[in-house]
Structure 1
Amino acid sequence: MHTAEIRRRFLDHFEQAGHTVVPSAPLLFDDPNLLFVNAGMVPFKPYFLGQETPPWQTATSVQKCVRTLDIEEVGKTTRHGTFFQMNGNFSFGDYFKEGAITHAWRLITGSVADGGLGIDADKIWVTVLHSDQEAREIWRRVAGLPDERIQDRGLLDNYWHMGVPGPGGPCSEIYVDRGPEFGPDGGPVVDEDRFLEIWNLVFMQEEIANVRAKDQFDVIGELPNKNIDTGMGLERVAYLLQGKGNLYEIDEVFPVIEKASEVSGRTYGKDHADDVRFRVVADHVRSGLMLMGDGVTPGNEARGYVLRRLLRRAVRSMRLLGFEDPALPLLLPVSLERMKASYPELEADFPRIEQIAYAEEDAFRQTLGKGTQIFESAAVKVKESGGSGLSGEAAFTLHDTYGFPIDITLEMAAEKGLSVDEEGFRSLMAEQRSRAKADAKAKKGSHADTTVYRSALDANGPTDWQAYTTLTTESRVQALIAGGATVPVLGAGSVGEVVLDRTPFYAESGGQHADAGHLQWDGGRAEVLDVQRPVRGLVVHQVRVLDGELTLDAPVEAVVDAEWRLGARQAHSGTHVVHAALREVLGPTALQAGSYNRPGYLRLDYGWSGALSPDQLHGVEEASNRALRADLPVTAKTMSLPEAREWGALALFGETYGEDVRVVEIGGPWSRELCGGTHVDRSSQIGTVVITSDGSVGAGNRRVEALVGIEGFQYLAKERDVVRQLTDLLKTQPEDVPGRVNDLLERLKAAEKAAEKIKAAQLLGAAGDVAASARDVGGVAYVGHHAAGAAGGDVRTIALDIRKRLADRPAVVVVIGDAGDKPAAVVALNEAAQERGLSANDLIKVVGAQIGGKGGGKADVAQGGGTDVAGIPAALSAVEAALAR
């Protein structure tokens, strides 16, 4: 049974049982504590935590998930994968244990002909919490399971909670016996390879507090509404029903292994090391496809770094399999063919996805080239020093600074007969991970505690948010917060947070900066510094009290700065216009991948490989301003997400949308996007769009910046003034300025070259006099010369010229220049001096010690530099003293 068919049967089963089918949330979910959705229940957390009222009593979903904590273990075991799908059914105060068990039993044991999965009931075992006799009795009664196939387990295995105070409860796990060839008998408590867990039913019935560990917490009471949360691993069920040994061999994954085997010439199943590489390729290509499909782009931080690592590990593994040509163009389409049955949107978006992926592979191949050069240099130094191994620090630098994988370092070192200090490398990697975890923990801590905001929401309900309709509201203070706790008053000069019953202020979201403005009341005034939504439904204003005292329950007038809001509306609408113009000029793959706007300014990241030509950039700017001149209507409509997608509205990557969404149109279908921001009424109100820059922000991604409104006019006015000043200085017309400036630059370059020639001739002309000043030191002719104003190239020329003039005797020449206040030194010895046992490479180190630098070279010529010009006389004297010794 294909994976997509299992998915369909699961959803159909619960839909027929009255559940609402909820589409999978994007992998990028609005949760500050998660990089990606990592469990099927994540999108439902607000309902389980009581932060929001669920729109349905029962629901079902197949949720896309990504876990990357064990990324290094992928392929080494049959259990670890990064992307997976979690089937789930949920009840919010509707059915409880018996309903959950009954639904699960009917699906897994129901006949294939009737829409079930057809698993043999005699092969099913379950576990329950040792104290949950109710669940045991239901399994006996509903499923007819004998006691020996219902096994007790403790809190560590069969109790679920989120790790924080809140809901919790016992769970019951469903296992399938795969047979004696997979391990010993005795049920899941004996062996979890033979007895494969496929489904976990969580019975959320208790409120817990004082959570100390997974099995250490206090139960403080029963939940008023008992809920059900289940999770069935789709990939596990697939490889069970398809008769495969692991998740890498199911129909959605194995075709990538087959393609990798075909192009590499290696066979899957013959060599463990190669099998690991094949599995890494298959897992990471699929995970990369799904992440890019949800809008993640490769980068050096957070989600982008995870994607970059997945793609590069896949490419690296193909190289280790002996395939050195571009691999993703061959593998990614194979994964698309297998995944589009469940996620048809991937096919429509594939031109953008492949553009990003192939650009990342090209960049990584260049990185491999650079890393190879660095490695070769490090290997030569090891051999020259008589060593036999590359240090852990060198391997770590290759990995961390140049992105050079340790596997390739090990491979290349072995080819040269060198070892690598893997223990030292792993130690440095562990230190880096520890720092990263500590940093992540610190960042998480700054976001995680929302207790005070939840309390305000529970006590007063959601904020009446009126940002779309007005700039002022008569409001009442519902909560005052300072230092993470509620306070009764905010005094003059203090900074704190204010929750109002209603507000006209736009809270920062969707790339739009928060509104500016003020609160005023009888006897006081406060400046609004920031506006955020720390929990859904609650708008919180950060304020600085300017006069008076702000107290609880005080009536206030909330006033948005009208000029600020106008600029913000112009910038946000301008962002939509520039996005549409990019797609008009470049094509549909130029999709927005992130944005930021504030009054007068916008920044938009978009998927594209390669720099835009001047004509393309001008085309985007002209298309934008033509839209402004056309005075296009700007409208907003609210509809369901499926309706919006059918209507052709663009859902921007990285954003999270609810059941109902707001679609903003500019000129009808020309620009139609899901957006919660504030906008102008007609495009002409944007004023102007002036593109100020376009540059790369990573492989396959670029960033355009622009000014709008009065800020755009001011920018153009400054440029006009600069041109006017140039025309006055050059006595020419504006259109002739570039030519005149180019002529001046050419003349300046010619003059500089002439001056350099004159200077070089003067320096060389003095070389004869300098050579004549040679003194006998230790039996050799020594010249120590400070060439004032000379740079590195001139210094070398002078030193070699002087050495040539002293060919009749052993000679040592040291010349040090000081151009740019940086010493540049050259030591030159003739053959006769070298026969005396002297070396330029040794003497340059004597020089370096005095001028704050270092250098190197061969026995006849060595050169170096430093930082201390004042040390030049001491350097010349030190060489003389060394020769005398």
Structure 2
Amino acid sequence: MRTTEIRARFLDFFAARGHRVVPGAPLPTPDPTLLFVNAGMVPFKPYLAGERPAPWPRAASVQKCVRTLDIEEVGRTTRHGSFFQMCGNFSFGDYFKEEAIAFAWELSTAPRSQGGYGLDPERIWVTVHHSDAAARSIWREVAGLPEQQIVSRGDEDNFWSMGVPGPCGPCSELFYDRGPGVGTEGGPAVDEDLYLEFWNLVFMQYERGEGHGKSGYPILGELPGRNIDTGMGLERMATILQGKENLYEIDEARPVLERAAELAAVRYGTDARADVRLRVVADHVRTALMLLADGVVPGNEGRGYVLRRILRRAVRSLRQLGYEDPALPELLAVARDCMAPGSPEVAEGFTRIADRARGEEEAFRATLRQGTTVLDAAVTKVRQEGGRSLPGAQAFLLHDTYGFPIDLTLEMAAERGVEVDREGFTALMEAQRERARADARTRRSGGTADTSALRAVLDEHGPTDWCAWEGLTSDSRVLSVLAATGPVPAAHQGEIVTVVLDRSPFYAESGGQESDAGRLRGASVEAEVLDVQRPLPGLVVHQVRVTAGELAVDDAVHAAVDPEWRLGARQAHSGTHVLHAALREVLGPAALQSGSYNRPGYLRLDFPWRGGLSAAVRSDVEEVANRALRRDLPVAVRWMTRPEAERLGALALFDETYGEQVRVVEIGGAWSRELCGGTHVERAAQIGTVALTAEGSVGAGMRRLEAAVGIEGFTYLARERDLVSRIAEQLGAPRAELPDRIAGLLDRLKAADRENTRLRERATADRARDLAAGAEDLGVARLAVATSDGGTDEARALATAVSSRLPATQPGAVAVSTPAGALVVALNSAAQDSGLSASTLVKHLLPGRGGGSAALAQGGGLSPEKLSAALAELPRLIRGG
């Protein structure tokens, strides 16, 4: 059963049982505690946690997820993947354990002809929490499972919480016995490779308190409404139903693995180390495809760094297989064809995806060249000084500055006969991680990860008198100063802390609008405001850096928002409303904003739409928006009840939380009328301009518009104008003729590329004929040896061409090397019939560095001197058979 059918059966099953089918969310999540959606329940957290009422009593979804905590295990086990899809059914105060268990059992075991998966009931095992007698009893009644196939486990395995105070509860997991020969019998507690977990049912029925770990917290009592959260691993179910050994071999991953094996001239299933690397490539290419499709860009921090690391691990794994040429765009295309049936956004945005990957791969290849030079110099220095160990600081430099993973440094150092101070490297890495963790804690909570201290401030002093809508300044008193360790009496110059004021004019980040910047000034202190958040309802907290003096509790300070920052933020937020209204005017009411972000000079807006917007549509949207600015539409703010706002037609966005009284922002009256808590301009003309800068896909059926506004919008347009002027000047053509001129140039370039390809092929054929004619007669076979000035692809083409021209009646071998240290060996049919194998020859010449088939094999990674020495052994190996 193909993965797309498994997905469809899941959604159809639960739709028929009253569940609302909810589209999966994009991988990047607005949750400040996460980089990516890492579980199917993440988009439903506000409903499960009781923060807002659920729009439906029961729902079902298939959610894309990324987890990288176990990235080192990818390829080594049968069940770890950095990207996976979680099928989930959810109940928000509706049904509970009995129905959840019955649904899972019915779908898992019902015959395929009846819409089920047809799993053998006798091979299903389940686990329950040791305290959950009700779940055990239901499993016996619903499924008729024998006692020995219902396994009791503890908190570590079968009790769930979000890791913070809130809902929690026991869970029940379903496992499938994959049959003899896979592992050790005895149930899931003995071997989770033989017994593969495929579904987890979470019964949210309790509220937990503060604490750490999976069991170090008190249970405060029953939840007022009990919920169900389940997750069935789509890839794991595909592994079972397709009869595969691991999730890398299912229909959505195996084609990538096979193409990588073809490129590297190796055969999957013949070498354990090569198999791990091929599985890493298959997993990471698929993960990168999905992240790129959802708008993530490779970078040096946050989400971008995760993507960059995944792409580089894929490139490095190919390199370890002996393949050094660019490969990501080609492999991503294979992954696209696999994933597009369930995730059409990967096809819609593939040109952008391939371009991003190509640039990242080229950059990493350059990084490898630079890093190798640095590593060689460091190894030379170690040897000159009589040492045998590369200092940890040097390994950390390679990692931190040149992007060298430590395992790559270890491998390359070992090739040069040098060890690496792994402990020193690990200590430096841990110090860096701790700095990053501290920074993350600071950013999330304004300097403290302990919300209990903030609760104490709120309980003692009440809500913050928040006056961001009224003005830019206030005279305030410092109620509390909190460092990472908790409350402190004062903070000194250079320290970053959380400050709670009795009154604040600073806008706290919410509704897509970034928080204000500004300063606090007192009699003996000055501090810079870095971030403003609302960690608890009613409480505004400020992350500040003390730039002079000492900031102490009870200090009187003058709080002042940076007026230029606020002006830019107002322009961007009002610009978002204008762009949203323009989008709906052009595309219709279905183009409803589903997410936004704005900061001074920049905005982005996400909305559901199938297919990209044409240049004409983008132009229409931009024109409608700027016409609204030219008409200088008035901006009005009104407070009213939620029903009154609904009767007026005000838009209430899905990801916002509203009380009984709502704030309605109007631009041009009914033209743009939305519920919003942000700061805005007084009239539309104050926005300046709205200049669209990008449009693309960020998920299945989800598009993103980006725009520059205000002075940044004018600057963007000026740069575009200058760029067009320079191109027109270089081409000596009027601007109106540029599209035709550029199209003509591209046509000529393509024609030149085709001619160059034809000439290269002719040159290869001519050279192959000469090499075949001049092949050395070794008695048992003829041998041709050559060097290719190009990459591995050209070497492989030359070797294949020469072997096809050697006499068919006599064994013949060809060896072609490259300046980069790669080697390709090809044999004709007569040589293979005589017992020779290209793969065996390469493995003898380059131990652990290559392989392939009997007809064609390749490897690499040797210095020119070592490669020459290895080639000198080739005649002896051929004569010796």
TM range (shorter): 0.5 to 0.7
Q: Does 1:708 align with 2:711?
A: yes
CA distance, structure 2, for counterparts of residue 284 and residue 154 of structure 1? 33
Match of 1:421 in 2: 419
CA distance, structure 1, for counterparts of residue 322 and residue 506 of structure 2? 62
Once the two structures are superposed, the pairs formed by residues 375-774 of structure 1 within 5 Å of their partners are 375-385=375-385, 390-413=390-413, 418-422=416-420, 424-425=421-422, 427-437=424-434, 439-440=436-437, 443-444=440-441, 447=445, 448-450=449-451, 482-483=480-481, 496-497=500-501, 507=509, 510=512, 512-514=514-516, 532=532, 534=534, 540=540, 568-572=569-573, 597-598=599-600, 657=655, 684-687=685-688, 708=711
Residue by residue, what CA displacement relative to the aligned partner does 1:455-497 show, whole Å, maximum 9, x if unpaired?
Answer: 9999999999999xx8699xxx9x997457999xxxxxx9734
CA distance, structure 1, for counterparts of residue 74 and residue 50 of structure 2? 36
Aligned AA (1:62) = V
Give the secondary structure class of the aligned counterpart of 2:217. Answer: strand
Q: Is the 8 A contact 1:531 1:539 kept in 2?
A: no
Q: Is the 8 A contact 1:129 1:159 kept in 2?
A: yes
Bigger mean CA deviation after superposition, 122-131 or 156-165:
156-165
Aligned AA (2:234) = L
Match of 2:865 in 1: none
Give the secondary structure class of the aligned counterpart of 2:209. Answer: strand
Q: Is the 8 A contact 1:167 1:205 kept in 2?
A: yes
Q: Report deviation, 1:351.
A: 2.2
Match of 2:824 in 1: none
CA distance, structure 2, for counterparts of residue 297 and residue 312 of structure 1? 14
Residue by residue, what CA displacement relative to the aligned partner does 1:503-525 show, whole Å, maximum 9, x if unpaired?
Answer: 9967555354449999xxxxxxx
Match of 2:5 in 1: 5
CA distance, structure 2, for counterparts of residue 533 and residue 258 of structure 1? 49
Q: Report deviation, 1:435.
A: 3.8
Q: Is the 8 A contact 1:124 1:176 kept in 2?
A: yes
Q: Is the 8 A contact 1:577 1:627 kept in 2?
A: no
Q: Does 1:56 align with 2:56?
A: yes
Distance 1:577 1:60, change over 3 A: closer
Residue by residue, what CA displacement relative to the aligned partner does 1:687-740 show, whole Å, maximum 9, x if unpaired?
Answer: 47999xxxxxxxxxxx9988629999xx99xxxxxxxxxxxxxxxxxxxxxxxx
CA distance, structure 2, for counterparts of residue 356 and residue 709 of structure 1? 25
Match of 1:22 in 2: 22
CA distance, structure 2, for counterparts of residue 25 and residue 148 of structure 1? 39
CA distance, structure 1, for counterparts of residue 381 and residue 233 of structure 2? 52
Give the secondary structure class of the aligned counterpart of 1:118. Answer: coil
Q: Report deviation, 1:451.
A: 5.6
Residue by residue, what CA displacement relative to the aligned partner does 1:375-410 show, whole Å, maximum 9, x if unpaired?
Answer: 332344345455566454433332332223445445
Give the secondary structure class of the aligned counterpart of 2:191. Answer: coil
CA distance, structure 1, for counterparts of residue 250 and residue 304 of structure 2? 27
Aligned AA (1:686) = I
Q: Give the alignment's TM-score, normalised by structure 1.
A: 0.59
Match of 1:246 in 2: 246
CA distance, structure 1, for counterparts of residue 210 and residue 406 of structure 2? 43
CA distance, structure 2, for counterparts of residue 268 and residue 656 of structure 1? 47
CA distance, structure 1, for counterparts of residue 130 and residue 226 of structure 2? 20
Aligned AA (1:270) = T
CA distance, structure 2, for counterparts of residue 317 and residue 511 of structure 1? 41
Give the secondary structure class of the aligned counterpart of 1:217. Answer: coil
Q: Report deviation, 1:174.
A: 0.8
Match of 2:75 in 1: 75
CA distance, structure 1, for counterparts of residue 459 and residue 55 of structure 2? 18
CA distance, structure 2, for counterparts of residue 4 and residue 457 of structure 1? 50
Q: Is the 8 A contact 2:507 2:532 kept in 1?
A: no
Residue by residue, what CA displacement relative to the aligned partner does 1:606-632 show, whole Å, maximum 9, x if unpaired?
Answer: 9xxxxxxxxxxxx9xx99999799659
Once the two structures are superposed, the pairs formed by residues 144-543 of structure 1 within 5 Å of their partners are 144-385=144-385, 390-413=390-413, 418-422=416-420, 424-425=421-422, 427-437=424-434, 439-440=436-437, 443-444=440-441, 447=445, 448-450=449-451, 482-483=480-481, 496-497=500-501, 507=509, 510=512, 512-514=514-516, 532=532, 534=534, 540=540
Give the secondary structure class of the aligned counterpart of 1:213. Answer: coil
Identity %: 53
Q: Is the 8 A contact 1:567 1:709 kept in 2?
A: no
Q: Which runs of 5+ in 2 are unaligned?
A: 488-497, 521-526, 545-553, 583-594, 607-618, 637-652, 693-705, 720-881
Bigger mean CA deviation after superposition, 402-411 or 182-191:
402-411
Distance 1:689 1:391, change over 3 A: same
Q: Report deviation, 1:53.
A: 2.1
Give the secondary structure class of the aligned counterpart of 2:38. Answer: coil
Q: Is the 8 A contact 1:100 1:201 kept in 2?
A: yes
CA distance, structure 1, for counterparts of residue 71 and residue 294 of structure 2? 20
Q: Is the 8 A contact 1:29 1:656 kept in 2?
A: no
Q: Is the 8 A contact 2:398 2:404 kept in 1?
A: yes
Give the secondary structure class of the aligned counterpart of 1:398. Answer: helix
Q: Give the alignment's TM-score, normalised by structure 2.
A: 0.60
Q: Is the 8 A contact 1:38 1:65 kept in 2?
A: yes
Once the two structures are superposed, the pairs formed by residues 103-122 of structure 1 within 5 Å of their partners are 103-122=103-122
Q: Which runs of 5+ in 1 are unaligned?
A: 488-493, 519-526, 545-550, 552-557, 582-592, 607-618, 637-654, 692-702, 717-885
CA distance, structure 2, for counterparts of residue 437 and residue 377 of structure 1? 30
CA distance, structure 1, for counterparts of residue 5 and residue 503 of structure 2? 49
Q: Report deviation, 1:597.
A: 3.3
CA RMSD of aligned residues (A): 5.3
Distance 1:564 1:117, change over 3 A: same
Aligned AA (2:512) = G
Q: Is the 8 A contact 1:463 1:537 kept in 2?
A: no
Aligned AA (2:419) = D
Aligned AA (2:112) = V
Q: Is the 8 A contact 2:626 2:689 kept in 1?
A: no
Give the secondary structure class of the aligned counterpart of 1:200. Answer: strand
Q: Report deviation, 1:258.
A: 0.9
CA distance, structure 2, for counterparts of residue 195 and residue 634 of structure 1? 65
CA distance, structure 2, for counterparts of residue 399 and residue 118 of structure 1? 49
Distance 1:92 1:462, change over 3 A: farther
CA distance, structure 1, for counterparts of residue 30 and residue 519 of structure 2? 27
Q: Report deviation, 1:312.
A: 0.8
Aligned AA (2:115) = G
Match of 2:863 in 1: none
Bigger mean CA deviation after superposition, 302-311 or 442-451:
442-451
Give the secondary structure class of the aligned counterpart of 2:105. Answer: helix
Q: Is the 8 A contact 2:635 2:684 kept in 1?
A: no
Q: Report deviation, 1:440.
A: 0.9
Aligned AA (1:333) = A
Q: Is the 8 A contact 1:512 1:597 kept in 2?
A: yes
Q: Is the 8 A contact 2:629 2:689 kept in 1?
A: no
CA distance, structure 2, for counterparts of residue 289 and residue 625 of structure 1? 33
CA distance, structure 2, for counterparts of residue 442 and residue 575 of structure 1? 30
Distance 1:666 1:322, change over 3 A: farther
CA distance, structure 1, for counterparts of residue 336 and residue 624 of structure 2? 34
Q: Is the 8 A contact 1:244 1:250 kept in 2?
A: yes
Report which structure shows greater RCO (CA 8 Å, sep ≥6): 2
Q: Report deviation, 1:414.
A: 5.2
Distance 1:129 1:461, change over 3 A: farther
Q: Report deviation, 1:596.
A: 5.9
